[in-house]
Chain A
């Protein structure tokens, strides 16, 4: 495991914010963290990044403590709000971050990153002149410039326009493809559904529910049918309100399943790959 957390507890005075968190993130896995305000999401993120010291429990990143400098060398973090010396230009800021992260050829990489995130034209503008979306973009770039293996994102799409949201989605997908372990804290359930492999629902300091949204070797398919068809003979399937939820191993299996249903006389209205409905989880658990 890239990130391993066991029995993590954190209290502020008498108020216990985290009450025994267990968490694992594998390389190449994107894990979403959702929960209502005050659930402890930011506190958990702060503990993972070493900003806060837990009262109990264990945090290991690649088997090492989270304040290990080698771990930091491979860690990226995007805060919800980018705060930095507002007098600095985008270029100065990013180059400083790259140099701090010990990036070789920091100047060239900073230039390339500014190009990648669409801020090359604003490189010489001061951060005070940046919009919220531009600050989010440059915040994302400082976290990615050293190609981290562990990426912690706190509301990375907050304040972004649709193009920015798509860019962040692409960047997260690239990190996942590179093998980075990503923890994404967001209130935007649709975003979590789109990019996360797994989602953790944090409530009152405990992980109340964990849902796998995507599995490499399995696909969940939802087939809406006309009423009156029995599916008991189909393995790994269940029927809810005329929607057949089945777990298959490949897209060919989906085609085979549809054919089997049609051959059996089912009236099929809609077929789609299914992800867990986060909104209903959120509504049910919050």
Chain B
């Protein structure tokens, strides 16, 4: 990994007004929900959103803007660059997560009446941190295959499409037409889509708990996504300008 790229990625984000605004929102949410009985009630969801927003720009937009060409003539291996960018973005999200968790703990210490719940908050932070690796790696993979912000589109279509698929399939199964009969006879299709959904867009364990199986699944999927992203990025042509 390249410390130079990681540091620059972190610097670029933490000095961005959008990131600072989001961080302020996280702090507010963490303090506001620290009076709830349930620990980590709001900020993990916001952190997932932050991972998505920051992960979108890992590499896709750099293809289109021409930024990447300046980097790729420097003595940095493409795969190293990509992994370093992913690491930088993940660190930025983790930093926001740590701030949010500390704010909730501070709030609970100051005015909470359901205990500090440090263990649950720590577990929620750990789960968010794990999920962030997958989200950013998956977006980096999509970014390595597309231009500009198309990775967002693909990610969202997958997220919404797979999320709705079980409802749509259940509805179609009720019908007596050929498709309905086909789906009734081939339940593996629906199960397969649910497995894909669970693997690419895993839900955070609620209430916060450490689940070894979930953690290993998320981390292994992230590793596969990152490996595929590196392979795609190494082969990717990066045209610039026009003749």
Contacts and interface: CB of A to CB of B under 8 A. Distances in A.
A41 B243 contact: yes
A96 B8 contact: yes
Interface residues of B, number: 27
A2 interface: no
B66 A154 contact: no
A142 B73 CA distance: 11
B69 A88 contact: no
In the A-B complex, list the 7 residue pairs whose CB atoms are closest, starting with the nearest. A83-B66, A100-B74, A73-B75, A72-B75, A77-B73, A51-B238, A99-B4
A79 B75 contact: no
Contacts of B74: 72, 97, 100-101
Interface of A: 17, 37-43, 46, 49-53, 69-70, 72-73, 75-77, 79-85, 87-88, 92, 96-97, 99-102, 142, 152, 154
B241 A96 contact: no
B239 A51 contact: yes
Interface of B: 2, 4-5, 8, 11-12, 15-16, 65-67, 69-77, 237-243
Contacts of B240: 42, 46, 51, 79
A85 B73 contact: no
Given A70-B75, A99-B4, A100-B76, 15 more contacts: A41-B243, A42-B240, A43-B243, A49-B69, A50-B73, A51-B239, A69-B75, A72-B76, A80-B241, A82-B70, A83-B70, A84-B65, A84-B70, A87-B16, A96-B8
Contacts of A92: 11
Q: Is the interface of B mostly helix, strand, loop or mixed?
A: loop
Contacts of B67: 83-85
A77 B70 contact: yes
A38 B5 contact: no
B243 A39 contact: yes
A83 B65 contact: yes
A76 B74 CA distance: 8
A45 B238 CA distance: 12
A39 B70 CA distance: 23
A3 to B, nearest CB: 14
Contacts of A41: 243
B243 A37 contact: yes
Which of B5, B12, B75, B243 has the most CB atoms of chain A within a 10 A radius of its CB? B243
Given A85-B12, A87-B12, A100-B4, A154 B73 contact: no
18 contacts: A37-B243, A41-B243, A42-B243, A46-B239, A49-B73, A52-B238, A53-B237, A70-B75, A76-B73, A79-B70, A83-B65, A83-B67, A84-B65, A88-B12, A96-B4, A100-B4, A101-B75, A102-B75
